[in-house]
Amino acid sequence: MAVPKKKTSPSRRGMRRSADALKAPTYIEDKDSGELRRPHHLDRKTGMYRGRQILTPKAEA
């Protein structure tokens, strides 16, 4: 069984756990529609991604 040779300092332990914190998701304003969307995601309302039409927009019901 592996046993650590030295005790992990509180500073190193904290650095390791720094990635465990929850971060708020980032949103950017879409250039075309002006609505908020996640970066590197397509706009579901218009179906556009990086200036190209990927999905056909849904008809308003």
Q: What is the largest CA-CA distance in the chain?
A: 66
Average pLDDT for the chain:
89
The residue behind tokens 């309302």 is 45
pLDDT at 60: 63
CA–CA separation, 19 and 37 (whole Å): 24
pLDDT at 3: 95
Per-residue pLDDT for 6 more than 80?
A: yes
The pTM of the full predicted model, rounded to 2 decimals, is 0.54
SS3 state at 53: strand
Stretch (H or E) spanning 48:
strand 48-49
pLDDT at 12: 96
CA–CA separation, 44 and 56 (whole Å): 9
Per-residue pLDDT for 61 more than 60?
A: no
Q: What is the pLDDT of residues 18-42, one digit of tens each?
A: 989 998 999 999 887 888 999 999 8
